[in-house]
Amino acid sequence: MKILVADAFPKDRLSDLAALGLEVEHRADVSAGDLPAAAADASILVVRSKEVSADVFDRAAALSLVIRAGAGVNTIDVAAASQKGVYVANCPGQNSIAVAELAIGLVIALDRRIPDNVAALRAGRWDKKRFSEAAGLYGRTLGVAGLGAIGREVATRALALGMRVLAWSRSLTAEGAKALGIERAPDLLSAARASDVLSLHLPLSRETRGVVSREVLLAMKPNAALVNTARAELVDQAALLELVRAGRLRVATDVFAGEPAKGQAEFQSELAQLPDVYGTHHIGASTAQAQDAIARETVRIVEAFVRSGEVPNCVNVARKTPARARLVVRHFDRVGVLANVLGIIREAGINVEEVRNTIFEQAQAASCAIDVGERPPDALLERIRSRRDEVMFVDCFDL
Ligand SMILES: NC(=O)c1ccc[n+]([C@@H]2O[C@H](COP(=O)([O-])OP(=O)(O)OC[C@H]3O[C@@H](n4cnc5c(N)ncnc54)[C@H](O)[C@@H]3O)[C@@H](O)[C@H]2O)c1
Ligand SMILES: O=C(O)CC[C@@H](O)C(=O)O
């Protein structure tokens, strides 16, 4: 079985993959355009930020699993993977501390203008007067949009700085916020209005694309700051550029529209050129600690898949299948028994959605849960029951 690792990945962990009996191909520099050809004969594909387009799933007939060695799966055509029955998994939480550390670093950098201090000194200029205008962070409000793995780490660190934390997130309740020592905003607009710094930690999805709209940006206090270590596409980039140019907002961003997927490339960004914008090079996850944790988690996923067929952290298995009823069939563990049961279900024109067969010690008996698209008529259950030399017990209940 071949695994293609199509981005940077630690050598030791490549050896771990090989030790699982896999044929490992490491092509960190393969371009997104060449990925469909490169992955054509791979069973497992590992990527970081490289785009995995529908073409990859069209061409790679053997592909069964794509692992995002990171958190955000927006660079993978998950819908195309689902149509071809390919698992997509990620490594949630493994780089959250690294991203939170960067986000907090950017919050402090914005307040004290640390990059400008450094640049002025490098240019031979002493400007204590200009750089003595920081407001300070203690007692000020940090808005957190998306209180998941990263948002929580950011909130913890902001509380340690004595900041007030106001979070907006899909499933956050007032009680949940209280338990964390923070406050809950009812919507993004309210969070934006009340924050001195708004830090984004949402995934990029159909619902969140452009969620930081012109209206949200305009709701922010004059001279407030936006910190984006999530994805550029969350934010209306044209409005952002306009408001920063007008001196209404300050920005620190680790992510850019159209940023290169490669480690080194020419890159021009109007936003990054502005004096009120501090840009970093999508390095949120790029600490040795985080990369080690991500790589180990990737190996864990591959190992589980190779050994048991299970896929930890799978993001595209249906949460609810169209199944409406479950048959439980206890049967003798013999050749053809399940095929006969499934044949009877097929003859009734009923679709089987999921099957889980469990074998008991000594491999004499098994219990099979068969989830089906509609409740089978009693006569069908009777037909299965009547196969007494194969079947011990049959029951059916609605889902
Ligand atoms: N800069 C980097 O290097 C870097 C590294 C890791 C992650 N990221 C980005 O950060 C994102 C967040 O990562 P995470 O690990 O915290 O993910 P996560 O899934 O743990 O957290 C996301 C949070 O957003 C909330 N959310 C999702 N959709 C929402 C919606 N429509 N409205 C309101 N809330 C919503 C979720 O409930 C969850 O609490 C990733 O998806 C990725 O894009 C960037
Ligand atoms: O791999 C990277 O460097 C970026 C990862 C980050 O964007 C993520 O979503 O985990």
Which ligand gives the minimal distance to the CA of 100? Answer: 1
Q: What is the mean pLDDT of residues 184-208?
A: 98
* ipTM score: 0.99
Within 6 A (CB) of ligand 1 lie 70-72, 92, 95-96, 99, 146-151, 169-171, 201-205, 207-208, 229-231, 254-255, 282, 284-285
Alpha-carbon distance 385 to 69, whole Å? 48
Q: Atom 6 of ligand 2 has which residue's CA nearest to it?
A: 70
Q: Which of 76-85, 232-241, 254-263 has the lowest mean pLDDT?
A: 254-263
Decide if 249 contacts 220 (C-beta within 8 A): yes
Two structure tokens written together for 110 = 């914005």
Q: Select from 47, 106, 150, 208 the residue to mutate for testing ligand 1; criterion: most ligand atoms less than 8 Å from CB.
A: 150
Is the pLDDT confidence value at 160 over 90? yes
Q: What is the pTM of this model?
A: 0.93
Where do the domains of the chain lie? 2-94+289-308, 96-284, 325-398
What digits encode the pLDDT tens for the residues 338-369? 999 999 999 999 999 999 999 999 999 999 99
E-strand stretches of 55-109: 65-68, 87-89
Is the pLDDT confidence value at 165 over 90? yes
Mean pLDDT computed over every residue of the chain = 97
What digits encode the pLDDT tens for the residues 67-105? 999 999 999 999 999 999 999 999 999 999 999 999 999
Chain centroid to Cα 41, Å, comes to: 26
Question: Which residues have a Cβ under 8 Å from the Cβ of 201 and sit 6 or more positions away?
Answer: 99, 103, 144, 145, 146, 147, 148, 150, 151, 154, 229, 230
Looking at the CA of residue 151, tell me the nearest atom of ligand 1.
16
Is the pLDDT confidence value at 206 over 90? yes
Q: Do domains 2-94+289-308 and 96-284 have the same CATH topology?
A: yes
CATH of 2-94+289-308, one of 3.40.50.720, 3.30.460.80, 3.40.50.10150, 3.90.1150.10: 3.40.50.720
Element (H, E) at 110: helix 96-112
Between the alpha carbon of residue 52 and those of residues 6, 72, 73, 199, the distances in Å are 10, 13, 10, 28
75 CB under 6 A from ligand 2?
Answer: no
Catalytic residues: 231, 259, 282
Looking at the CA of residue 188, tell me the nearest atom of ligand 1.
33
CATH of 96-284, one of 3.30.750.24, 3.40.190.10, 3.40.50.720, 3.40.50.300: 3.40.50.720
How much distance in Å is there from the Cα of 230 to the middle of ligand 1?
7
Looking at the CA of residue 207, tell me the nearest atom of ligand 1.
31
Decide if 270 contacts 247 (C-beta within 8 A): no
Is the pLDDT confidence value at 236 over 90? yes
pLDDT of residue 78: 98
Split at pLDDT 50, 70, 90, the class of 292 is very high
Is the pLDDT confidence value at 62 over 90? yes
Split at pLDDT 50, 70, 90, the class of 262 is confident
Domain 325-398 -> CATH class: alpha beta
Q: What is the mean pLDDT of residues 280-302?
A: 97
Decide if 8 contacts 28 (C-beta within 8 A): yes
Question: Which amino acid would we find at residue 224?
Answer: A
Helices and strands in the chain: count of H runs, count of E runs: 15, 16
Q: Atom 1 of ligand 2 has which residue's CA nearest to it?
A: 48
